[in-house]
Homo-oligomer: A and B are copies of this chain.
Amino acid sequence: MRIADFHVTPIAIADPPLLNAAGLHAPYALRAIVEVVSDDNIYGVSESPGGADVLADLEAVRALVVGRDPFALNKIAQDIETHFGDATSGDRQYMRTTIHSRRAARVFGAVEVACLDLIGKAIGQPVCNLLGGKVRDRVPFSAYLFYKYEGAGGQLGFATDLGATGWDAARQAAALTPAGIVAQAQAMCRAFGFKSLKLKGGVFPPHIEVDTIFALRQAFGPNTPLRLDPNAVWSVETAIRYGKQLEGALEYFEDPTRGQAGMAQVAQAVNIPLATNMCTTSFDDIPGSVRLGSEHIILSDHHFWGGLRASMELARICRVFGRGLSMHSNSHLGISLRAMAHLAAAAPNLTYACDTHYPWQREEVIVGGRLQFDDGDLIIGDEPGLGVELDRAMLARLHENYVQCGLTGRDDEAEMQKVQPGWKFMHTRW
Contacts and interface: CB of A to CB of B under 8 A. Distances in A.
Interface of A: 69, 71-78, 123, 125, 129-135, 283-284, 286-287, 290, 309-310, 312-313, 316-317, 319-322, 346-348
A321 B133 contact: no
Name A's interface SS. helix
B313 A74 contact: no
Q: Lowest 4 A-B CB distances belong to which pairs?
A: A72-B133, A71-B129, A313-B316, A74-B132
A318 to B, nearest CB: 11
A316 B74 contact: no
Contacts of A76: 133
B313 A75 contact: no
B73 A287 contact: no
The complex is assembled from copies of this chain, and their number is 2
A134 B316 contact: no
B71 A316 contact: no
B321 A74 contact: no
B286 A75 contact: no
Contacts of A135: 74-75, 78
Contacts of A77: 132, 348
Contacts of A123: 123, 125
Contacts of A71: 125, 129, 132-133
A174 to B, nearest CB: 44
B321 A134 contact: no
A348 B74 contact: yes
Contacts of A309: 132
A169 B313 CA distance: 46
Contacts of A317: 313, 316-317, 320
Contact of A319 (B283, B347, B348): B283
A171 to B, nearest CB: 36
Nearest to A123: B123
Given A74-B346, A313-B313, A287 B320 contact: yes
A227 to B, nearest CB: 26
A104 to B, nearest CB: 13
Given A123-B123, A287-B321, A290-B290, A133 B316 contact: no
A316 B321 CA distance: 14
Contacts of A125: 71, 123
